[in-house]
């Protein structure tokens, strides 16, 4: 594979597929106007993937197949912004906005005294609540992306940005400038944010406080595969440096041109003929806000004409010609009625505020998380207090602060439980961790319920019909004490439960029976080992091949698995040395749960196990086949093409496209001398 050259016809096909896919991508993500179905799109993509796999020469970093993420980086590189990335001054009411307009017209000498004697046009657009980024395109190809950082220097997040569907990998249209830097905001749409948090919560993993944090956390990942799995979008709002582009006369024209080249711009972009129209735009946007699928925290007004902008210039770190009219934070006051403590799947105890229901940010809020003991201390909150609840687009409402002056004499301190509220077992707090946890594991009914729900969930053993309510019912009724009990449920027993008809009961028993045939990754994930999500379960399964191998693995060999660091390795060891969990596993197997072992290609104990190397160019001191054999003897796989999963590339003389690709994907490369030294040092 990959040794022969593709025919001219195949090269053309690949180019055509790439162009087609880029066009459809853009129609879908930027213009919201798809013309083919998802499955047709998938077919085109698969065809291109096949071609690229067969002829790696055809693969380029701007291929639409490359949005999946690349190999993890050791750290972000720094990027200096040639033009600093600025911030915006704020206006908090209409008077401040009018003041701004007066200053503009005064400076531009457009009739300062009489308000509308001479008016000034503004571009109006929402202030997106995400993370500012800069994207550099050379000859229309996405070359480098960076965060804003401190405005002067940011971090190189090219690989992460490449995974975002609305980031064009190559521009389309006419007169594309040889050099173009665009700036915009990366954000997580609310629907994606909610879905992400719901999944995280179900898996008892960390949830994000708000979409802004979610976007920031997702973009600042050294492993772009994580970013690829997050629903992010880019909307652009300005141009940075450019060469070979005579800028149009206005800001709105700039954005329209960027849109033509393939960037998403705000659908709410508009112009206002004067400041009264700006105020009206702001009022309308404020009402629209609740219906949008993304968070905005205000409106940005920019003097539309570029010659005016140039004349106005900058002060300190913000342009004089723009202002952000901020929305008031959505807050409401209510009373804290009580605090309850919930127990999560891994035993984490979360204090939840029970509030007198209050309408804030478009919904009625009656619960708010208080996160943990530290947060309660920080707020200094007591039961009975009047509290300010904030929902700034946050799906999880927050208690922002306490109105101490309204504290009633009857207010009582929140007492953090000494024992688990569900099972009375001891609680423990590990140093450096905010969470307090119940130590009882599956003995604790609350953890048991969560563990069973997780075990039965779609990505785990996928037992259809065994939903959350039923699990609560079964545990409360004493039908299930531990996971293996699931496999001893009888139709009659189930049908005797409230709300479960005979038919559904037998369907459920059939689904339980079917779940016995599973896979090792699913089973590992289903066990609910702390910090072992789907991806880690898959890596562990592939690395060790069988449950027995994994159970016997020590921390060092665990740490050699992709995604597994000392913390996760520790949790895995802990899990498999606990006699209770070993009994659960044994009982599940006795009940008939089974999976095929996975063939492990590498010898786990070899120094280069798990690594994939690529040899390219010609070697002077050894035959290519010898180099390959020596690498394989050390446990490495030797592949014919460079991908994001490549560990290292050995570049001999006249190394060509593979070397270029390695560099594009940030895969480390070494020359022949270094390679020989390295081999002799470890053989
Ligand atoms: S213009 C030179 N437009 O707000 C002008 N910024 O407080 C600089 N932002 O860092 C930015 N939406 O992250 C502009 N439509 C918009 C924006 C926007 C969000 C963010 C941006 C910037 C921050 C400034």
Q: How confident is the model at residue 583 (pLDDT cuts 50, 70, 90)?
A: very high
Residue nearest to atom 14 of ligand 1 (CA): 237
**127 part of the active site:** yes
Cα 6 to ligand 1 centroid, rounded to whole Å: 46
Specify the pLDDT at position 115.
53
Please check the confidence at residue 429 and state whether its pLDDT lies above 60.
yes
Q: DSSP letter string over 217-275?
A: HHHS-SSHHHHHTS--EEEEEEEEEEES----SBHHHHHHHHHHHT----TT-EEESSH
Please check the confidence at residue 605 and state whether its pLDDT lies above 90.
no
Tens-place pLDDT, residues 6-43: 888 899 899 899 988 888 888 877 777 778 877 788 88
Ligand 1 pocket check: which of 84, 237, 238 to mutate, most ligand atoms within 8 Å of Cβ?
237
Which range has the worst mean pLDDT, 109-123, 373-387, 426-440, 460-474? 109-123
Please check the confidence at residue 603 and state whether its pLDDT lies above 50.
no
Which range has the worst mean pLDDT, 57-71, 187-201, 368-382, 539-553? 57-71
Please check the confidence at residue 600 and state whether its pLDDT lies above 80.
no
Specify the pLDDT at position 135.
98
3-state secondary structure of 541: helix
Please check the confidence at residue 253 and state whether its pLDDT lies above 60.
yes
Please check the confidence at residue 309 and state whether its pLDDT lies above 80.
yes
Residue found by looking up tokens 């189930």 in the block: 494
Averaged pLDDT, 435-444: 85
Residue 154 φ/ψ, nearest 5 degrees: -125, -170
Q: d(Cα 95, Cα 424) in Å, to the nearest integer?
A: 58
Ligand 1 pocket, residue 254 CB under 6 Å: no
Q: How confident is the model at residue 114 (pLDDT cuts 50, 70, 90)?
A: low
Ligand 1 pocket, residue 647 CB under 6 Å: no
Ligand 1 pocket, residue 480 CB under 6 Å: no
Cα 250 to ligand 1 centroid, rounded to whole Å: 17
Ligand 1 pocket, residue 425 CB under 6 Å: no
CA distances from 70 to 39, 163, 212, 573, 661 (A): 25, 9, 24, 29, 12
Cα 465 to ligand 1 centroid, rounded to whole Å: 47
Ligand 1 pocket, residue 101 CB under 6 Å: no
- Choosing from 77, 109, 127, 382, the catalytic residue is 127
Which range has the worst mean pLDDT, 76-80, 295-299, 448-452, 640-644? 640-644
Cα 444 to ligand 1 centroid, rounded to whole Å: 49
Ligand 1 pocket, residue 130 CB under 6 Å: no
Ligand 1 pocket check: which of 264, 324, 325 to mutate, most ligand atoms within 8 Å of Cβ?
324
**Higher pLDDT residue, 2 or 421?**
421
Q: Can you give the pTM of this predicted structure?
A: 0.54
C-alpha 301: how far from its chain's center?
A: 30
Cα 127 to ligand 1 centroid, rounded to whole Å: 6
All domains in the chain, ordered by first residue: 8-66 (1.10.287.610), 89-326 (3.30.470.30), 331-428 (2.40.50.140), 441-590 (1.10.150.20), 603-682 (3.40.50.10190)
Tens-place pLDDT, residues 466-485: 988 899 999 998 899 889 99
Specify the pLDDT at position 510.
95
Specify the pLDDT at position 563.
67
- Mean pLDDT (the chain) is 88
Tens-place pLDDT, residues 494-515: 988 877 888 889 999 999 999 9
Residue found by looking up tokens 């570029």 in the block: 306
Which secondary structure element, helix H or strand E, spans residue 349, and what is its range?
strand 348-360
**Higher pLDDT residue, 62 or 264?**
264
Percent of the chain with pLDDT over 90: 53
Residues 6+ apart with CB under 8 A from 271: 121, 122, 123, 124, 252, 304
Ligand 1 pocket, residue 124 CB under 6 Å: no
Q: What angle do CA 242, 244, 246 make, to 5 degrees?
A: 85
Ligand 1 pocket, residue 238 CB under 6 Å: yes
Specify the pLDDT at position 202.
80
Report DSSP state, residue 565: -
Which range has the worst mean pLDDT, 309-318, 389-398, 417-426, 610-619? 389-398
Averaged pLDDT, 593-603: 77
Residue nearest to atom 17 of ligand 1 (CA): 127
Ligand 1 pocket, residue 125 CB under 6 Å: yes
Strongest mean pLDDT among 30-34, 51-55, 315-319, 584-588: 584-588
Specify the pLDDT at position 122.
98
Please check the confidence at residue 2 and state whether its pLDDT lies above 50.
no
Cα 292 to ligand 1 centroid, rounded to whole Å: 18
Which range has the worst mean pLDDT, 68-72, 119-123, 399-403? 68-72
Q: How many CA atoms lie within 13 A of 242 on its CB side?
A: 18
Tens-place pLDDT, residues 183-193: 999 999 999 99
Averaged pLDDT, 631-638: 81
Tens-place pLDDT, residues 47-102: 998 898 888 888 877 788 878 777 777 788 999 999 999 889 989 889 999 999 99
In this structure, the dihedral spanned by the alpha carbons of residues 598, 603, 608 and 613, taken in order and rounded to 10 degrees, is -50
**Higher pLDDT residue, 563 or 427?**
427
């Amino acid at each position: 594979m990959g040794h022969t050259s593709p025919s001219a016809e195949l090269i053309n096909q690949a180019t055509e597929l790439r162009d087609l896919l880029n066009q459809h991508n853009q129609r879908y993500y930027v213009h919201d106007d798809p013309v083919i179905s998802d499955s047709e799109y998938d077919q085109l993509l698969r065809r291109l993937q096949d071609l690229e796999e067969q002829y790696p020469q055809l693969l380029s970093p701007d291929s639409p197949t490359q949005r999946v993420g690349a190999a993890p980086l050791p750290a972000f590189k720094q990027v200096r912004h040639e033009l600093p990335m600025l911030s915006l001054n704020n206006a908090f009411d209409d008077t401040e906005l009018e003041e701004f307009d007066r200053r503009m017209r005064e400076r531009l000498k457009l009739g300062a005294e009489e308000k509308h004697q001479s008016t000034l046009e503004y571009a109006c657009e929402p202030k997106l609540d995400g993370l500012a980024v800069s994207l550099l395109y050379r000859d229309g190809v996405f070359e480098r992306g960076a965060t804003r950082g401190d405005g002067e220097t940011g971090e190189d997040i090219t690989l992460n940005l490449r995974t975002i569907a609305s980031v064009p990998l190559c521009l389309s249209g006419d007169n594309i400038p040889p050099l173009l830097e665009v700036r915009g905001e990366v954000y997580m749409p609310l629907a994606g944010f909610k879905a992400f948090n719901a999944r995280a919560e179900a898996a008892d993993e960390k949830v994000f406080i708000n979409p802004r944090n979610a976007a920031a956390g997702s973009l600042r990942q050294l492993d772009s595969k994580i970013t690829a799995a997050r629903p992010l979008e880019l909307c652009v709002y300005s141009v940075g440096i450019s060469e070979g582009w005579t800028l149009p006369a206005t800001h709105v024209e700039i954005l329209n041109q960027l849109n033509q080249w393939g960037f998403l711009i705000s659908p709410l972009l508009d112009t206002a003929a004067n400041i009264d129209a700006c105020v009206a735009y702001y009022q309308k946007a404020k009402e629209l806000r609740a219906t949008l699928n993304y968070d905005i925290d205000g409106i940005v007004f920019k003097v539309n004409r570029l010659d005016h902008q140039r004349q106005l210039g900058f002060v300190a770190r913000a342009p004089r010609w723009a202002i952000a009219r901020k929305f008031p934070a959505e807050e409401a006051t209510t009373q804290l009625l009580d605090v309850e403590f919930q127990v999560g799947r891994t035993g984490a105890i979360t204090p939840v505020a029970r509030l007198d229901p209050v309408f804030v940010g478009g919904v009625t809020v009656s619960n708010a998380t208080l996160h943990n003991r530290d947060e309660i201390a920080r707020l200094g909150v007591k039961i009975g207090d009047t509290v300010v609840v904030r929902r700034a687009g946050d799906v999880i409402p927050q208690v922002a602060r306490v109105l101490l002056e309204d504290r009633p004499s009857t207010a009582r301190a929140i007492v953090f439980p000494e024992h688990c509220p569900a099972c009375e077992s001891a609680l423990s707090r590990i140093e450096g961790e905010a969470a307090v946890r119940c130590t009882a594991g599956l003995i604790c009914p609350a953890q048991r319920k969560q563990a069973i729900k997780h075990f039965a969930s779609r990505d785990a053993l996928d037992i259809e019909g065994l939903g959350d309510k039923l699990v609560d019912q079964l545990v409360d009724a004493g039908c299930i004490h531990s996971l293996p009990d699931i496999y001893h449920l009888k139709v009659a027993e189930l049908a005797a439960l409230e709300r479960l008809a005979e038919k559904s009961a037998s369907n459920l028993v059939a689904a339980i029976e079917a779940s016995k045939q599973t896979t090792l990754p699913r089973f590992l994930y289903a066990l609910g080992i702390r910090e072992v999500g789907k991806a880690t379960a898959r890596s562990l399964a592939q690395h060790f091949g069988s449950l027995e191998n994994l159970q016997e693995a020590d921390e060092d060999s665990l740490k050699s698995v992709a995604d597994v660091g000392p913390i996760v390795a520790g949790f895995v060891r802990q899990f498999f040395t606990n006699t209770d969990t070993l009994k659960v596993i044994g009982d599940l197997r006795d009940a008939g749960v089974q999976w095929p072992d996975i063939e492990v290609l590498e010898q786990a104990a070899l120094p280069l196990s798990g690594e994939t190397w690529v040899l390219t160019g010609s070697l002077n001191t050894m035959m290519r086949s010898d180099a390959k054999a020596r690498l394989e003897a050390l446990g490495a796989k030797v592949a014919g093409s460079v991908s994001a999963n490549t560990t290292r590339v050995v570049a001999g003389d006249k190394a060509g496209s593979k070397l270029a690709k390695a560099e594009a994907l940030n895969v480390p490369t070494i020359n022949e001398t270094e390679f020989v030294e390295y081999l002799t040092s470890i053989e």
